[in-house]
Amino acid sequence: MSLKDKLFAAGVVGCGGAGFPTHVKLSGNIEHLIINGAECEPLLRTDRYIMTNFARELVQTAEAVRAELGAEDCTFGLKKGYKSEISALTAEIGAQGVGNRIFLHTMESFYPAGDEQTLVREVTGNTVPPAGIPLDVGCAVTNVATLLCICHALQDEPFVDKFLTVTGEVAHPTVLKVPLGTSFRECIALAGGALCDEFFLVSGGPMMGRPIPQAQLDQEFVTKTTSGILVLPKDGYLSNHSAIPVQHMLNRAHSACIQCSYCTQMCPRHLMGHPLRPHMIMRKTALSGSMDGLLSDPEIQNALLCCECGICEIYACPMGLQPRRINGMLKRALGEAGIRYPKGEGMGEESPAREARKVPSKKAAARAGVLKYYDYSITDLICAEPKEVYLPLRQHIGAPCDPIIQDGEHVTRGQLIGKCPEGKLGTNLHASIEGTATVIGLSIRIVR
């Protein structure tokens, strides 16, 4: 089987973002394979753990993928402060004799260094065009957790376990390795439990993660894209920030936006020359009081270029407004209306202030109200064996899997239970534990 076929068969998707199927991403004329080890979000330690403890597998797999793709170069991009990770990777590159093909590129600790377009710019000096992808400049980017899944796929092992960080208000912040479908409640228990009775959850990191009220805890399960679970105080900044109703947010923008343009001046996409101006989007949205009739406006359509990193609202805005959230709403509305941004249109010059306006990761954490947890040393790995798992049939970009098992069927760990529909973008799903399977809506429950 080819690399592409093995990745598809194993159900590998991007572990650190939206879950794009990896067999599709690693296609085309790829000149430079970039391995993302920058661990974009403050507080997360998953990728750092993997680089330190699985350096041999990562370097071997990177070379195998580079060779199969015919890429000239392969570069691990990571931060200068990652001393043990740099040491482990450097030692393996030397031991495996691939120092003329696999390189390390180290960066300052800024946010969002792990954004793939930012990483391409840092490693290669090239800028991905507006609405483009790294392949437009001959690159493919995959993060280290995904690369470890690729390692397993090359050995015909499906994607059934997930590494993730659990931190914040827990007794023992840790990295977990759990079967897909493990409940968030069990993950928090494995980290020693929450230190407070009332808390707020974030799935992912503090800047771009998905907020989850405590009342929804029992509805949350680990998927292929779960990178972390943050347990935070109920009355903290992120909890209060996410609770603002949409209409109140629009009213606040109408009354409070001072058009200082800080959101635009600090926007990573704008600084690279993309025609995204959050302050202008805020102005037009604020003046309208709603989003009705806005979608035909070219300035509003520039919201499609937003990577939703959150710098504009968590770091830049002095009035506590939410340009990222408005951009996200506009992106969804534009998508539903079938409006797409024409690739490459409006590309400008990179700002000469780009270097000076890189946001230090620690300052981003402070603005997000999570500085207390920033310097936690997380080096332990805890594994789980849950009694049951819930596996959504869609854990990736594209069409959901079609279940191929019957209710009450006994399944074994690694068995194919969900198949990508013929001719659709998607991938496969496998049982993460052995047990009795039941199809429940768009999920499969397995009980040992």
- Which tokens sit at 264? 């635009």
Domains of the chain with bracketed CATH: 3-154 (3.40.50.11540), 261-282+289-354 (no CATH), 387-448 (2.40.50)
Instruction: Tell me the pLDDT tens digit for each residue of 52-107.
Output: 999 999 999 999 999 999 999 999 999 999 999 999 999 999 999 999 999 999 99
The residues, ordered by sequence, that sit 6+ positions from 98 with a Cβ below 8 Å of its Cβ are: 59, 63
Give Cα 63 distance to the centre of its chain: 24
Q: And the tokens for 143?
A: 């993060």
Query: With the C-alpha atoms ordered 364, 366, 369, 373, is the resulting torsion angle positive or negative?
Result: positive
Contact (Cβ atoms closer than 8 angstroms) between residue 294 and residue 330: yes
Q: State residue 250's pLDDT score.
A: 79
Decide: 444 and 393 in contact? Cβ < 8 Å. yes
Residue 313 has pLDDT above 90, yes or no: yes
Q: Distance between CA atoms of 170 and 439, rounded to whole angstroms?
A: 33
DSSP one-letter code for 437: E
Q: Alpha-carbon dihedral of residues 393, 394, 395, 398, nearest 10 degrees? A: 140
Tokens (6 digits) for 435: 């047990």
Mean pLDDT of the region 416-445: 97
* Residue 256 burial by Cβ neighbours in a 10 Å radius (0-12, 13-18, 19+): middle
pLDDT for 241 equals 83
Average pLDDT over residues 337-359: 96
Has residue 290 got a pLDDT over 70? Answer: no
Distances (CA, A) of 349 to 126, 131, 346, 352: 12, 16, 10, 9
The pLDDT value recorded for residue 16 is 78
Residue 293 binned pLDDT confidence (cut-offs 50, 70, 90): confident
8 Å CB contact between 148 and 76: no
Residue 446 sits at φ, ψ, to 5 deg, of -125, 130
pTM metric for this prediction? 0.96
pLDDT single digits (tens) 228-284: 999 999 988 898 888 888 778 878 887 888 889 999 999 999 999 999 999 999 888
Residue scoring higher pLDDT (304 or 235): 304
**Token pair 């900044």: residue:** 237
**Residues listed for the chain:** 448
Q: Measured on CA atoms in the order 294, 298, 300, 304, is the torsion positive or negative?
A: positive
Please tell me the predicted confidence (pLDDT) of residue 37: 97
Q: Give CA–CA dist 145/201, Å, rounded.
A: 22
| CA distances (Å), origin 92, targets 62, 66, 96, 124 | 12, 16, 6, 23
Q: Where does 8-50 show beta strands of DSSP type E?
A: 32-36
pLDDT exceeds cutoff 90 at 31: yes
- At 261 the pLDDT is 95
Half-sphere exposure of 260 (CA within 13 A, CB side): 16
pLDDT tens-place string over residues 147-180: 999 999 999 999 999 999 999 999 999 999 999 9
